[in-house]
C-alpha cells in the first residue's frame, strides 16, 4: 500500500488548487457563468500551456504520461473551485475513449489538438430511454458501402454544446439492450445530418442533445472494436465516475468548510449558530461524510487500472454510491445551516449544492450503482 503523492503529483496539486483559489473566486466564476460560452477560453488556453490537458495521456500520444491519479488531483481541485471549463468531457470522456482505443491515425488527428486546447471532444452515449444503462442503445449505424450511416438521438451529452468532435455510441448489431453490437464512432460536429442542440445545465455547465439523421461516416471513424464497444464504453465511463467523484470530494470539502466558517460568524439568539450542539453534530456528520467520500474516491481511482473488469466495475459502483450519499448529506445540510442565505444565487453554497446534486445524476445515481454493485457481488 502506498497512498502518498509523488513530488510531481504534489506540485500539480498545489498548482491546480492555487488556480481554483485565485482564478476562480466566486465573483469571477459568476462572470464566466453569465458569459455566452459559459466557460473562459483564456483559462482553457492556460490549462493547455500548463500541461493539464495532457497530463493523463501517454507520452507517445503527446501527453505527460500520468494517469487516473493525476486526473483525480485536477478534478478535486476543480471541484474546490467549481471550475466551469469542460475538462471532464474533453480529457476524461472524449479524450479518454481515444486514448484507450484509438488507432494511431485517430489519435494523431485529434489528441495533439485536444492537448493543445485547439479542439474539443465529447462522448455521446446516453439516450432518452437508456437512463444509466450503457448497453441500451437505439441509435443505429448501418453498414453502407465502406462506411456507416448513423441515425438516432443522443441525450445530455456533457460538453456537447462546445464540442468539435463527438464520440458517438451506436448499435451495429443486436437488439436495443444487447451487450454485444455496440460500436463507437468519431463524428465531427460539421457532419451532414447532425443537429446539435446545446444548452446550459442547472449546475451551470453545458451539454447538448444530438439528433443524427443519416449521418455518413467512413470506416476509419470506428473507434475501437466493431460490435464490441460496450466494454470500452464501460471503461471510459468508469474513468468518468472516478473523475467526478474526485470533483465531488473537492466540492464537498469546500462546502463543509464554508458552512463551518459561516456558523462561526452568523449570530442568532445572541451567539454564533456554530455554538448550537445540533448544528455542531450535523457539521461533524458532514465532515465524516467528506472523509468517507475521500477514501472511496481514492479507492475508485486506484481501481481504474484493475484488469478484471468485474472487479473494476464493482469498485467504481461502490465509489459512486458513497459519493452520492455523502454529497446529498453535505449539500442538503450546507443549505439548511446557511438558512435563507443558502437559498440565494448570491452565495456560493447553492452553486456547490447544485453541482453535487448533478454529480449524483451523472453516470448513474447512487441507487443505480447500488444495484450494479449488488449484481456484481
Partner 1 sequence: MHLNLTRSQRAFQARVRKFVDENHPPEIRAKVESGLKLGRAETIAWQKKLHAAGLYAPAWPKQWGGPALKPIERYVLDRELALNSTPALVPFGVTMVGPVIYTFGSQAQKDRFLPRILNSDDWWCQGYSEPGSGSDLASLKTRAVREGDHYVVNGQKTWTTLAQYADWIFCLVRTDPAAKQQEGITFLLIDMKTPGVTVRPIVTMDGGAEINDVFLDNVKVPVENRVGEENQGWTYAKFLLVNERFGTAQVGRSQRQMLRLKQIAQSEIVGGRKLEEDENFRLKLAKTEIELLALEYTELRYLAQLDAGKQPGAEANILKIRGTQMQQNLSELLMEAVGYYANPSLPKALEHGWNEEPIGPAYAASLAPAYFNWRKSSIYGGSNEIQRNILSKFVLGL
Name which of residues 318 to 347 contact partner 1 (CB under 8 A). 318, 321-322, 332, 335-336, 339-340, 342-346
Q: Taking the complex as a whole, how short is the minimal distance between the CB of residue 279 and a copy of itself, in angstroms?
A: 9
Site membership for partner 1, residue 281 (CB under 8 A): yes
Name which of residues 92 to 151 contact partner 1 (CB under 8 A). 126, 128-133, 136
Q: Find the part of the chain contacting a copy of itself (CB under 8 A) among 82-90, 124-132, 272-280, 336-344.
A: 272-280
What is the rounded end-to-end Cα distance, in angstroms, of the chain? 24
Site membership for a copy of itself, residue 269 (CB under 8 A): no
Interaction pattern, residues 243-272, with partner 1; x per rule: CB under 8 A: -----------------x--xx--xxxx--
Q: Taking the complex as a whole, how short is the minimal distance between the CB of residue 370 and a copy of itself, in angstroms?
A: 16
Of the residues 107, 134, 354, 356, which one makes contact with partner 1 according to CB under 8 A = 354
Q: Find the part of the chain contacting a copy of itself (CB under 8 A) among 237-245, 271-279, 299-307, 331-339.
A: 271-279
By CB under 8 A, how many residues form the interface with a copy of itself? 4
Contacts of residue 271, Cβ cutoff 8 Å, sequence gap at least 6: none
Tell me which DSSP letter residue 6 carries: P
Site membership for partner 1, residue 288 (CB under 8 A): yes
Site membership for partner 1, residue 353 (CB under 8 A): yes
Q: Taking the complex as a whole, how short is the minimal distance between the CB of residue 343 and a copy of itself, in angstroms?
A: 22
Task: Identify the burial level of 60 via C-beta atoms within 10 angstroms of its C-beta, where 0-12 means exposed, 13-18 middle and 19 or more buried.
Answer: exposed
Give the integer Cα–Cα distance in Å for 156 and 164.
16
Site membership for a copy of itself, residue 371 (CB under 8 A): no
Site membership for a copy of itself, residue 287 (CB under 8 A): no
Give the integer Cα–Cα distance in Å for 317 and 258.
29
Q: Taking the complex as a whole, how short is the minimal distance between the CB of residue 29 and partner 1, in angstroms?
A: 14
Between the CA atoms of 219, 220, 222 and 223, what dihedral angle is there, to the nearest 10 degrees? 170
Site membership for a copy of itself, residue 267 (CB under 8 A): no
Give the integer Cα–Cα distance in Å for 363 and 285.
26
Q: Would you give the distance in Å from CA 204 to the centre of its chain?
A: 14
| Residue 217: all three cell numbers together | 461516416
Of the residues 18, 197, 264, 281, which one makes contact with a copy of itself according to CB under 8 A = 281
Site membership for a copy of itself, residue 277 (CB under 8 A): yes
Rounded alpha-carbon distances, angstroms, from residue 43 to 19, 71, 83, 86: 10, 17, 10, 11
In Å, the largest CA–CA distance within the chain is 78
Q: What pairs with residue 223 in β-bridges?
A: 184
Nearer to partner 1 (CB atom), residue 148 or residue 373: 373
By CB under 8 A, how many residues form the interface with partner 1? 84
Nearer to partner 1 (CB atom), residue 3 or residue 105: 3
- Residue in this structure with the C-alpha cell 478534478, named with its chain if needed: 75
- Assess contact for 91 and 71: CB atoms under 8 A: yes
Q: Taking the complex as a whole, how short is the minimal distance between the CB of residue 298 and a copy of itself, in angstroms?
A: 31
Name which of residues 165 to 224 contact partner 1 (CB under 8 A). 176-177, 197, 199-203, 207, 209
Strands 182-188 and 140-144: unpaired
- Residue in this structure with the C-alpha cell 504534489, named with its chain if needed: 10
Q: Find the part of the chain contacting a copy of itself (CB under 8 A) among 172-180, 214-222, 276-284, 291-299.
A: 276-284
- Assess contact for 245 and 300: CB atoms under 8 A: yes
Q: Taking the complex as a whole, how short is the minimal distance between the CB of residue 317 and a copy of itself, in angstroms?
A: 23
CA quadruple 63, 159, 236, 101: dihedral sign:
negative
Site membership for a copy of itself, residue 278 (CB under 8 A): yes
Residues at the interface with a copy of itself (CB under 8 A)? 276-278, 281
Amino acid at each position: 500500500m502506498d497512498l502518498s503523492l509523488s513530488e510531481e503529483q504534489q506540485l500539480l496539486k498545489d498548482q491546480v488548487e492555487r488556480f481554483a483559489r485565485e482564478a476562480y473566486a466566486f465573483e469571477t466564476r459568476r462572470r464566466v457563468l453569465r458569459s455566452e460560452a459559459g466557460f473562459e477560453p483564456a483559462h482553457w488556453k492556460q490549462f493547455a500551456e500548463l500541461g493539464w490537458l495532457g497530463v493523463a495521456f501517454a507520452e507517445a500520444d503527446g501527453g505527460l504520461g500520468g494517469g487516473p491519479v493525476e486526473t483525480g488531483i485536477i478534478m478535486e481541485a476543480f471541484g474546490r473551485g467549481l471550475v466551469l471549463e469542460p475538462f471532464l468531457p474533453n480529457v476524461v470522456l472524449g479524450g479518454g475513449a481515444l486514448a484507450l482505443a484509438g488507432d494511431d491515425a485517430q489519435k494523431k488527428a485529434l489528441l495533439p489538438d485536444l492537448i493543445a486546447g485547439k479542439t474539443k471532444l465529447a462522448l455521446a452515449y446516453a439516450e432518452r430511454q437508456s437512463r444509466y444503462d450503457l448497453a441500451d442503445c437505439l441509435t443505429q449505424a448501418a453498414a453502407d458501402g465502406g462506411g456507416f450511416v448513423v441515425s438516432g438521438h443522443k441525450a445530455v451529452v456533457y460538453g456537447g454544446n462546445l464540442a468539435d468532435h463527438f464520440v458517438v455510441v451506436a448499435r451495429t448489431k443486436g437488439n436495443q439492450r444487447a451487450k454485444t453490437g455496440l460500436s463507437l464512432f468519431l463524428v465531427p460536429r460539421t457532419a451532414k445530418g447532425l443537429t446539435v442542440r446545446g444548452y446550459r445545465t442547472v449546475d451551470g455547465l453545458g451539454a447538448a442533445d444530438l439528433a443524427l439523421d443519416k449521418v455518413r461516416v467512413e470506416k476509419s471513424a470506428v473507434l475501437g472494436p466493431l460490435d464490441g464497444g460496450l466494454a470500452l464504453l464501460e471503461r471510459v465511463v468508469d474513468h468518468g465516475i472516478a473523475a467526478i467523484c474526485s470533483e465531488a470530494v473537492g466540492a464537498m470539502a469546500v462546502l463543509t468548510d464554508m458552512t463551518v466558517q459561516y456558523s462561526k460568524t452568523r449570530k442568532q439568539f445572541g451567539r454564533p449558530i456554530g455554538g448550537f450542539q445540533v448544528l455542531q453534530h450535523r457539521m461533524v456528520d458532514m465532515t465524516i461524510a467528506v472523509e468517507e467520500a475521500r477514501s472511496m474516491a481514492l479507492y475508485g481511482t486506484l481501481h481504474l487500472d484493475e484488469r478484471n473488469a468485474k472487479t473494476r466495475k464493482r469498485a467504481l459502483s461502490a465509489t459512486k454510491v458513497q459519493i452520492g450519499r455523502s454529497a446529498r448529506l453535505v449539500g442538503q445540510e450546507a443549505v439548511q445551516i446557511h438558512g435563507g442565505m443558502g437559498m440565494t444565487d448570491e452565495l456560493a453554497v447553492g452553486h456547490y449544492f447544485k453541482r453535487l446534486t448533478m454529480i449524483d445524476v451523472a453516470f448513474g445515481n447512487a441507487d443505480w450503482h447500488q444495484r450494479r454493485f449488488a449484481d456484481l457481488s
